[in-house]
Amino acid sequence: MVIAIDGPAASGKSTTAHMVSQTLGMVYMDSGLMYRGVAYALLKHQIECVDHRVEAFLPQMQLEVLSVDSIMNVYVDSSDVTSQLHTAQVTEVSSDVAKIPNVRQWLFKIQRTFSKQYGDDPGIVTVGRDMGTVVFPDATLKFFLTASIDVRAQRRVQEFRQKGININYQEVHEAIVHRDHQDIHRTIAPLKQAPDAILINTDDLTPEGQANIILSKVREQSQS
Ligand code: DC
C-alpha cells in the first residue's frame, strides 16, 4: 500500500505522515528530504546550483536513502546527514534544485526503488509535492494538505523556538510565500492537488487530528 500525502511547505505533512506510518507499521518516505540531500551534496562539493553544473555532477553524486527503524534516512558520501538537512541554506538550495528536470528524473528512480522495496510490505507513507500526481499516480490513497500562510508561518516559528532558535515571523512568512511561488509555478511537476486526492485543511487541526482523518480513510478503504 502506498499512501501519498502532498501539500505546500509547513502544511503539517511530515508530522502527520510520520504518525500515520508509525500507527500502521509502515515505512515513512520523505521526498523533500531527498531534494534536501541533493542540495546538501551540492553545497558540500561547492557545485553551483545551475542546471548544467548539477547535471554534470549527478553521475558522481553519492546519495542514498535507507529505512532505519521505518524512517527514511539520507546518506551523502556514506554519512548519515538526515539531521543536517533543515538549515536555511539547504532549504533555499533545495527549492532551486527541485526545478531541475534531470534532478527530478534522477530522484524519481530512487523514489520508485524505495517504494519497490517497501511498498507491498509493510507499505509506505510518502510526502512531497508530486507524490500523488507524478511519482505514485496509482497510490492506494492520496491526500492534499493545505493551511493558510499565516498558520504555516506560525507553526514554523514555533518549531524553531522549540529548538531554541529565535526567528523573525515576517522572515518566515516571506520565505513560505517565496517557496509556494517556486513550488506552484515551476514547469515540471508543480505543486497541485491530484484530482483523486482528499483535501484536508489543517488550519484548525492538531497533528493528531490530521493523522486521525487519514487513518479513518485508510480503515474505510481497507473495509471496502
Ligand atoms: O518538503 P520540503 O520542504 O522538505 O521540500 C524541500 C524542497 O523540495 C522544497 O523546495 C520543495 C521540493 N520538493 C519537490 O519539489 N518535490 C517533492 N516531491 C518534495 C519536495
Q: Closest Cα to residue 198, out of 148, 146, 147?
A: 146
What are the CB-based long-range contacts (under 8 Å, 24+) for 12-16?
Answer: 12/145, 12/147, 12/155, 12/202, 12/205, 12/207, 12/210, 13/127, 13/128, 13/145, 14/127, 15/207, 15/210, 16/145, 16/202, 16/207, 16/210, 16/211, 16/214
Q: Is the CB–ligand 1 distance for residue 179 below 6 Å?
A: yes
Question: What's the pLDDT tens digit per position in 120-141?
Answer: 999 999 999 999 999 999 999 9
Q: Are 16 and 4 in contact (CB under 8 A)?
A: no
Least confident piece of the model among 66-70, 93-97, 162-166? 162-166
Please give the pLDDT value at position 163: 85
Mean pLDDT of the chain: 95
Question: What's the pLDDT tens digit per position in 32-50?
Answer: 999 999 999 999 999 999 9
- Closest ligand 1 atom, residue 186 Cα: 15
Question: What gap in Å lies between CA 79 and CA 103, rounded to an integer?
Answer: 21
Mean pLDDT of 198-218: 96
pLDDT at residue 160 greater than cutoff 90 = no
| Ligand 1 pocket test target in 2, 5, 35 with most atoms within 8 Å of CB | 35
pLDDT at residue 222 greater than cutoff 90 = no
Q: Is the CB–ligand 1 distance for residue 123 below 6 Å?
A: no
| Banded model confidence at residue 63, pLDDT cuts 50, 70, 90 | very high
Distances (CA, A) of 134 to 34, 121, 203: 16, 22, 26
- Closest ligand 1 atom, residue 99 Cα: 15
Q: Is 15 helix (H, G, I), strand (E, B) or coil?
A: helix
> E strands, 115-218, where?
124-128, 141-146, 198-201
Mean pLDDT of 160-182: 91
pTM: 0.95
Q: Is the CB–ligand 1 distance for residue 152 below 6 Å?
A: no
Please give the pLDDT value at position 85: 97
Q: Is the CB–ligand 1 distance for residue 11 below 6 Å?
A: no
Q: Is the CB–ligand 1 distance for residue 36 below 6 Å?
A: yes
Please give the pLDDT value at position 147: 95
pLDDT at residue 152 greater than cutoff 90 = yes
- Closest ligand 1 atom, residue 86 Cα: 4
Please give the pLDDT value at position 159: 87
> E strands, 69-220, where?
71-76, 79-80, 124-128, 141-146, 198-201
Q: Is the CB–ligand 1 distance for residue 183 below 6 Å?
A: yes
pLDDT at residue 204 greater than cutoff 90 = yes
Instruction: Tell me the pairing of strands 124-128 and 79-80.
Output: unpaired
| Banded model confidence at residue 166, pLDDT cuts 50, 70, 90 | confident
pLDDT at residue 165 greater than cutoff 90 = no
pLDDT at residue 22 greater than cutoff 90 = yes
Helix, strand, coil shares of the chain as percentages rounded to 5?
A: 55, 15, 30
Question: What gap in Å lies between CA 10 and CA 14, rounded to an integer?
Answer: 8
Please give the pLDDT value at position 224: 79
Q: Closest Cα to residue 76, out of 41, 30, 48?
A: 41
